[in-house]
Amino acid sequence: MQEREIYLDNPPLGEALGKYFKELEEAGALKPTGAEVVDVREALGRITSEPVFARISSPHYNAAAMDGIAVSAKDTFGASEKNPVRLKEGVNFWPVDTGDPLPPGCDAVIMIEEVHPLEGGEVEIVSPCAPWDNVRSIGEDVAATELIVPENHRLRPQDLSAVIAAGHETVKVRKKPKVAVIPTGSELVDPGTPLKPGDIIESNSAMLAGLVEEWGGKAIVMEKVKDDFKLIMQRVQKAVELADVVLINAGSSAGTEDYTSNCIKALGKLSVHGVAIRPGKPVVLGLIEGKPVIGIPGYPVSAYLAMELFVKPVLYKMQGLPVPGREKIKARLSRRVVSSIGTLEFLRVKVGRLGGEYVASPLSRGAGVIMSVVRADGMVRIPETKEGIEAGEYVEVELLKSQEEIENSVLIIGSHDVSIDILANEIKRFYPEITLSSAHVGSMGGIMALMRGEAHLAGIHLLDPDTGEYNVSYIKKYLPNRRIFLVNLAYRQQGLMVKKGNPKGVKGIEDLMREDITFINRQKGAGTRILLDLKLKELGIDPVQIKGYGKEEYTHLAVAATVAGGGADVGLGIMAAAKAFDLDFIPVAPERYDIAIPEEFYHTDLMQKILEIMRSDEFKKKIESLGGYDTSMTGELIGGD
């Protein structure tokens, strides 16, 4: 088996950043990029490479600030109701509109409303004016030679206007730093390629290029390279010629960043290989020909973090800009998180405003789960010195969304149902400011989330084996002192999902005991799991008789995917999921899926808008079209406790 370098004792983040940026500074790799001259009208968002001083004043002449007549103020002295003063057009007054230059000898403007026209081109005024009344004098807005915007300034729309008014047609701005992105990995295929096992769609470079563009750089995405040291060397050499910064995106295989580090060693200087962070540990930091060359890990979340921590400051420094910080808030962590001493962990969290404070709930911690970054509202740093964070501890969250968006986010935690996705989308369609943000942890997980105060809503379908009733008894048992409203989302059919054509001839739950059948289960606490266990009990089947009973998935779709992928023969789930994966579906039981809403949230504006959407015909129609749903009770109140 292939040998790999072991990089024990990775330096902590601060040390790695300090060392690398010192070396970059010394090599002159961070000095601002050169300048280019652009038309001011095309300079929006560009960074000035030198200060802009006014060439001319604005106004560049003394201008009437009102419609009226221009006069010499001294001709009006002494005017009053009793002793009106007469002025003659072309002799001692001239009509002017706003913006007109003052005629020679004039130093004031009288508003048209204060002028009484007489016959023969004469007018009368009944009060004097002072010199410079109603005049915009030279330089009132911009005085020639004054500083309009300094160097290192990002040009905003109002700046463009001022720079033009100050007499400029062009402006000197920094060239955008060019960043080459090299995707590597023999497993990579282009988007759209038919996939075989082992293929991975090359999706990272879109994110890398997008981040580069957001940070003011110009991304050059190069052709992907196989895991071949010589080919990678050639591509890196070419990239160093083309660009100011080179990013080598490793394959997702654990050892492939060694190609990057060896390549940097061969062509330049390796500064750091491996940093004590998670995700993002296998980042590689180096220099070739005085240019930053950074090895970005292959797992997407690691890649995202490596970009944020190492590439962002490089790009901002090259543009002469401060590195913008993220907005931070204090939040209560809803669940305990364990982490390793010696590693700085970046935990993705959902954040909700609940009971007057922010509550952060941890998302999937896997480095391969890009959806955890898509879904995240923020990041929490768990320092190297801590073994984790206790539930209820207050943490600092670096927000990935604006605080305004967080305030308008409704967190629904519980069992997954496709109708929740549909609901989330309908809400965004009619109320773009509201986000219904879901986390899938099963029905009991949803009830626990309400108990811990980490969710606004819970999506549940919990069958009480004793009463045959859904949800009500669980709410009473686990949330005894709270008033909870239950609103029906839909009735849905639960059933066994099997491969198209039902090759193993599955007829019902009793077939799960068969030796030739592998099952894929849902996690403990999931409503579907409770239904299964009840059915097994009714049939007197011992779970140990079922192959695969111990292998759990967290959503209907993951179960269906497992069956479709051959990882199991049968799973229990909803018809919509079976349909999505083109599986056959053997009905087992209908079940009621409700949304549990604590009273204090039920009466909010936000919730009323969501209920309005749930009760709309359009929403019901979209749900029905999925198949296996009955919406006759959708949006109806089931009852409080």
Residues 582-641, interacting with its own copies (CB under 8 A):
none
Block residue for tokens 């967190």: 411
Residue located via tokens 């001294």 = 74
Stretch that binds its own copies, among 59-67, 466-474, 501-509, 588-596 (CB under 8 A): 59-67
Taking the least distance from each CB to its own copies, the nearer of 271 and 493 is: 493
- Which residues, numbered 563-582, are part of the site for its own copies (CB under 8 A)? 564-565, 567, 577, 580-581
One symbol per residue from 109 to 138: x for binding its own copies (CB under 8 A), - otherwise; what is it?
Answer: ---x----x------------xxx---xxx
Interface pick for its own copies out of 11, 139, 543, 640 (rule CB under 8 A): 139
191 contributes a contact to its own copies by CB under 8 A = yes
Identify the sign of the CA torsion 610, 614, 619, 625. Answer: positive
User: CB 109 → its own copies: shortest distance, Å?
Assistant: 12
C-alpha 231 chain-centroid distance? 35
Asked if 555 touches its own copies (CB under 8 A), the answer is yes
Tell the smallest beta-carbon distance from residue 171 to its own copies (Å). Answer: 11
Residue type, 114: E
User: Within 10 Å of residue 233's Cβ, how many Cβ atoms?
Assistant: 16
Burial of 503 (0-12, 13-18, 19+ CB in 10 A): exposed
Number of helices followed by number of strands (H, E) in the chain: 18, 38
Q: Which of 128, 216, 251, 442 binds its own copies (CB under 8 A)?
A: 251
432 makes contact with its own copies (CB under 8 A): yes
* Residue closer to its own copies, measured from CB, 272 or 558: 558
Residue range at the interface with its own copies (CB under 8 A); choices 12-20, 247-255, 331-339, 467-475: 247-255
Shorter beta-carbon distance to its own copies: residue 146 or 469: 146
Instruction: In whole angstroms, give the CA distance from residue 201 to residue 427.
Output: 31
Q: Which stretch binds its own copies (CB under 8 A): 251-259, 281-289, 386-394, 535-543?
A: 251-259
Q: Which helix or strand (DSSP H or E) is residue 477 part of?
A: helix 472-478
Cβ 531 vs Cβ 590: under 8 Å: no
Give, as ranges, the residues between 318 and 337 that touch its own copies (CB under 8 A).
320-322, 324-325
Among 14, 366, 465, 508, binds its own copies (CB under 8 A): 366
- Interacting positions 142-181 with its own copies (CB under 8 A): 142-153, 156-162, 164-165, 167-169
Question: Binding to its own copies by residue 355, rule CB under 8 A?
Answer: no
CA 285/CA 267 separation, integer angstroms: 13
> Is residue 562 within the footprint of its own copies (CB under 8 A)?
yes
Please report whether residue 195 would count as binding its own copies according to CB under 8 A: yes
Cis peptide before 543 (omega within 30 of 0): no
Cβ proximity to its own copies, 272 vs 424, nearer residue: 424
Give the list of residues 6+ apart from residue 446 with CB closer than 8 angstroms, or none.
Answer: 412, 413, 414, 415, 455, 458, 459, 460, 596
Range list of β-strands (E), 425-565: 435-440, 457-460, 484-498, 519-522, 552-553
Distance, CA of 354 to CA of 172 (rounded, Å): 49
The residue (of 300 and 459) whose beta carbon lies closer to its own copies is 300
Instruction: Tell me which stretch binds its own copies (CB under 8 A): 191-199, 238-246, 336-344, 386-394.
Output: 191-199
Q: 14 to 43, contacts with its own copies by CB under 8 A?
A: 40-41
> Which tokens belong to 449?
């989330």
Is 415 an interacting residue with respect to its own copies (CB under 8 A)? no
Task: Give the integer Cα–Cα distance in Å for 309 and 312.
Answer: 6
Residues 368-387 that bind its own copies (CB under 8 A): 368-371, 373-374
Helix (H) or strand (E) holding 17: helix 13-26
Q: Which two tokens stand for residue 392?
A: 């209820």
